[in-house]
């Protein structure tokens, strides 16, 4: 008897789904958000005026606010902020994107890591290889027609 093995390949927030059956083919269409969208909901205010704090000192409290998301810093290496930073009526996502831009770096979400990681800077010693028999599609800012 075959034993079924479930493997989680994505972790997301399900927004909508549609099931279809046509010509003996079953299709499931899912509209979903990745969990980093949780940090792009609530606008908040903050100021960081101590020039001796590091960027990590800013990231760590942001990290602890969200149980389903984790930030990994591959850029700043305990660099001090050196000037005053303000977050005014801005989501944490937009604030972190702005910091990444100021540091000439990137902020990106790891679509494969099930720990809902996103990174400042590219982690070079880590890579993924997708299985050849796995169907997938990756896109950025692509809008699909509603179901």
Does the domain formed by 36-120 have CATH 3.40.50.2300?
Answer: no
The more confident residue out of 47 and 6 is 47
Q: Do 17 and 31 meet the contact criterion of CB atoms below 8 Å apart?
A: yes
pLDDT of residue 125: 65
User: What is each CA distance from 121 to 21, 26, 75, 100, 142, in whole angstroms?
Assistant: 43, 40, 5, 8, 23
Distance separating the N- and C-terminal Cα atoms of the chain: 38
Write down the pTM of the prediction: 0.68
pLDDT in tens, 34-47: 777 778 889 999 99
pLDDT value of residue 34: 72
Burial class of residue 8 in the structure, from the number of CB atoms within 10 Å of its CB (0-12 exposed, 13-18 middle, 19+ buried): exposed
* E strands present in the chain: 12-22, 25-34, 43-48, 70-73, 85-91, 107-109, 117-120
């Amino acid at each position: 008897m075959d034993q079924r093995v479930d493997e989680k390949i994505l972790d997301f927030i399900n927004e909508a789904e549609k099931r279809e059956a046509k010509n003996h083919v079953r299709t499931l269409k899912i509209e979903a958000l990745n969990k980093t969208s949780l940090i792009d909901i609530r606008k908040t205010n903050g100021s960081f005026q101590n020039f001796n704090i590091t960027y990590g000192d800013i990231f760590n409290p942001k990290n602890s606010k969200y149980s389903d998301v984790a930030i990994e810093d591959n850029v700043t290496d305990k660099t001090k902020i050196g000037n005053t930073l303000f977050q005014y009526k801005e989501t944490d996502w937009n604030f972190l994107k702005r910091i990444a831009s100021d540091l000439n770096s990137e902020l990106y979400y790891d679509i494969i890591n099930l720990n809902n990681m996103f990174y400042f800077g590219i982690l070079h010693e880590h890579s993924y290889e997708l299985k050849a028999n796995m169907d997938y599609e990756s896109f950025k800012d692509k809008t699909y027609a509603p179901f």
